[in-house]
Chains A and B, each alone.
Chain A
Amino acid sequence: MKNGKRALAALLSVLLTVGSLTACSSASKSTASENSSAATSTGEQSKSEGKKIKLSFMSIWLPDSESADSQAKYEQINKFLKEHPNVELENNSIAHDDFVLKIKALIAANELPDIWSARGDMIPPAVDNDLIYDSDTILSQVNGWKQNFSDDAFADFRYGEKTWAIPAQMQGNSFLFCNTALLSKCGVTKAPETWDELLDAIAKVKAKGLIPLAQGNKNKSVIGDCIMSWLTNRYTGTDWFYNMKERKGARFTNPDFVKSLTALKQLTDAGAFNSDANSIDEDMGRAYYANGKSPMFFSGAWSAAWIEQNCPQEVIKATKIMAPPTIKDSKGKPNAVSGGAGWSWAISNQLKGDDLKAAAELVNSITNEEYTKVSLSKGYSLYPGITPSSADMSKLGPITSQYMNILKSVTFCPDYFVLMEPTPLETFGNVVQEITMGTITPEAGAKKIDDAYAQSVLKK
């Protein structure tokens, strides 16, 4: 009898332990699913009883950040919440790199928040798994909202026949930042406008013992994106990119694409980059520019504010932003810079009725004309909407003002790091690094990217 009791006790203890352990994992699942279902059910309640709406929110913009873009967004969000006391926001925003990792896991686990910041490459998996609303459904929740955006603002979020999110920003990702005073000291009298002028400037700067182009390409996107997106577009044109993306026959072994890799090799052979370019991040790369060790670097709109905040006055005064150089006989537009919205606001298709309306109105508050004005008042210029004619630009810094001016004279071309499928993109980034190290030829590099493309995209 006692033996039987002991056996029963042992069995129960095992079951209890395993049960409690499994409960841990299912508990977190149920909490998350409760959250999403809570939003839906409270929405139904709010329809009938006017009760609270609870929305989960996750983005790369942190509420306690001192950056102007975060401050502008949260000023608008807080205002919205004040005006809508029935809406409760559960904010789980985290830093950019962590966010990218976490949101991919959440897409995989089907546990996305109600409102989340989505990069162009995150849209296809979310759509394939039927997790988000298309742009038109979201825009239809607020009258006149659509008119705030230019047509190309949605280009990064097109998948299939529809667009799938609301642009969160608009920015150019590939400009040449020049310290004209330092260039003059090297014998370069004007900032380079053409490819030949760029090569000439590189040779002269190199001869003075300085770094011609200071880049920090550890994460592969600084050279891969800020240089290669426009450089490739010059040779292949935009149609080639979309033919490749939409699997309409364009391949990376195309001679024009190989030419763009050859052009990168030309820069490498000319000694354009710092020798530690692939092991340092962008901030460390730009530090060479700030310290006067380099007169040029390629970067995006975000570097305008960075220069204003981190460079000495003489560097700020001497800085000139240039569109990337033109190339003879190019197929792409000569004034194209890579860019577009890049990041957007996606809304879960689990939200219905009042919940969906509340979520759309919240997103509206951080993308509408009022948000543009708040952004400009804080000196931030990457808002997603059309700049209103009455906008006050006086708060913008000198480099940001230059950026706003140059933006009027350029057109956007596809950004590889926003639009390309992840597997060939990873190989593309690797090949770019290998070319800058001189360990692969452009032809072999193109073949390698094409193999990854064929294996992971065409075979899908």
Chain B
Amino acid sequence: MRKNSLGNPKRLDYWKWLSLPVALYGFVVIAPIIVGLCFSLTSWGGGKKIRFIGLDNYIALFQNFDFWKSFLNNVQIIVICLIGQMLGGLLIAILLSSRFLRLRAVYRFVIFLPVVLSGVVVGYLWQIVYNNSFGLLNWFLRLIGMSSAIRAWLDDPNVVMTSISMVLVWQFIGLNVVIFLASLQNISPDILESAELDGASGIKKAIYIIMPLMKSTIKVATLLCITGNMKIFDHIWLMTRGGPGTSSSVLAVYAYKVSFEEMRFGYGASASIGIMLLSVVLIGIFQLLTKGGRKNEA
């Protein structure tokens, strides 16, 4: 009997053993999405009165300038983080895996430390760093004689998104370094050795040997970067609350404000579903792009 169910499972066994995780997944993931979807079709503002309004919320959402502006801000963060976290992370990981580097553990610890900090702590710290009058950044610029570059980093609508994105790059670059380091350590020394024997060294070895071998890891890290930055909230809420105006508003901040500050829970639910759909679209585009690459390789 035991052999039947574990060694040679029948169709019913699959159902039996999958039922618990599927039920759990349905309860914590699928059910809230369905409930959110139902609320998104109403004009619910809290309380007993719930009125079905069909797709009106989605039409209003689609026409709302602030929603799309928030989405573009998310995209801007993703682009900056992809460049900063991925390239920076890869570079640091390659440097850390170098044979000639000493105190490797210390560097790894220092670079990874911000990853474990809460977004609230990081947001508060960087609010001080960016402060116009006593902030560390402006003080440093003054010190090195670059007073012309001094500005209110979180007040200027032209730079506020870059300022916030740099904080995210700073905090999460360590995560990518650790992921890339693990991947680098999995590359067989034989391959690297034979590449060296063939004359590939330094940058050439990194571009032609290491990078292709790390392709799937880079893909996973990119996906994590996109999904993580689509739901970014706490840093921005702490530093700017989406301001000045709506300059630094992102989708999660927008959904939070319409739901809990404006008490438009129905519309807020449609904004949340909108975030989910846009995330799926972005990930889909990324998958398509990377699939194309694989075909070319073949």
Cross-chain contact of A7 among B16, B60, B131, B157 (Cβ < 8 A): B16
Interface residues as binary, A273-286 with B (CB distance below 8 Å gives 1, 0 otherwise): 01111111000000
Chain A interfacial residues counted at CB < 8 A: 49
B9 on the A face (CB < 8 A)? no
Knowing A6-B16, A279-B244, the reply to whether A14 touches B23 (Cβ < 8 A) is yes
B118 on the A face (CB < 8 A)? no
Q: How far is the CB of B266 from chain A (nearest CB, A)?
A: 11
Q: How many A-B residue pairs have CB under 8 A?
A: 129
Asked if B12 contacts A439 (CB within 8 A), the reply is no
**Neighbouring A residues of B97 by C-beta, 8 Å:** none
Binds A, one of B85-93, B218-226, B256-264: B256-264
Binds A, one of B44-52, B187-195, B227-235, B275-283: B44-52
Knowing A10-B20, A11-B19, A18-B27, the reply to whether A2 touches B12 (Cβ < 8 A) is no
Knowing A129-B47, A437-B155, A437-B157, the reply to whether A279 touches B239 (Cβ < 8 A) is yes
> A274–B132 Cα gap in the complex (Å)?
9
Asked if A423 contacts B262 (CB within 8 A), the reply is yes
B184 on the A face (CB < 8 A)? no
Segment 302-344 of A: residues with Cβ below 8 Å from B: none
Knowing A279-B127, A439-B157, the reply to whether A426 touches B261 (Cβ < 8 A) is yes
Most buried by B among A13, A14, A219, A440: A14
Segment 13-68 of A: residues with Cβ below 8 Å from B: 13-14, 17-18, 21-22
Q: How far is the CB of B270 from chain A (nearest CB, A)?
A: 14
Most buried by A among B131, B245, B262: B245
Q: How far is the CB of A109 from chain B (nearest CB, A)?
A: 8
Knowing A218-B243, A433-B244, the reply to whether A279 touches B157 (Cβ < 8 A) is no
> A279–B129 Cα gap in the complex (Å)?
12
Asked if A437 contacts B245 (CB within 8 A), the reply is yes
> A288–B133 Cα gap in the complex (Å)?
10
> A276–B262 Cα gap in the complex (Å)?
26
B246 on the A face (CB < 8 A)? yes
Binds B, one of A99-107, A152-160, A259-267: A99-107
B265 on the A face (CB < 8 A)? yes
Asked if A220 contacts B46 (CB within 8 A), the reply is no
Q: How far is the CB of B154 from chain A (nearest CB, A)?
A: 4
Interface residues as binary, B121-155 with A (CB distance below 8 Å gives 1, 0 otherwise): 00000010011110000000000000000011011
Interface residues as binary, A106-129 with B (CB distance below 8 Å gives 1, 0 otherwise): 011110000000000000010011
Q: How far is the CB of B234 from chain A (nearest CB, A)?
A: 14
Nearest chain-A residue to B64 (Cβ)?
A455
Asked if A456 contacts B262 (CB within 8 A), the reply is yes
- Mark B residues whose CB is within 8 Å of A: 1, 5, 12, 16-17, 19-20, 23-24, 27-28, 44-49, 60, 127, 130-133, 151-152, 154-157, 239-241, 243-247, 257-258, 260-265
- Mark A residues whose CB is within 8 Å of B: 2-3, 6-7, 10-11, 13-14, 17-18, 21-22, 101, 104-105, 107-110, 125, 128-131, 218-220, 274-280, 288, 293, 422-423, 426, 430-431, 433-434, 436-437, 439-440, 455-456
5 inter-chain pairs at a CB distance below 8 angstroms, sorted by A residue, are: A18-B27, A104-B260, A110-B48, A129-B48, A437-B247
9 other A-B residue contacts (CB within 8 Å) besides A3-B1, A279-B243, A426-B257: A108-B44, A276-B132, A276-B155, A278-B240, A279-B132, A426-B261, A436-B244, A437-B157, A437-B247
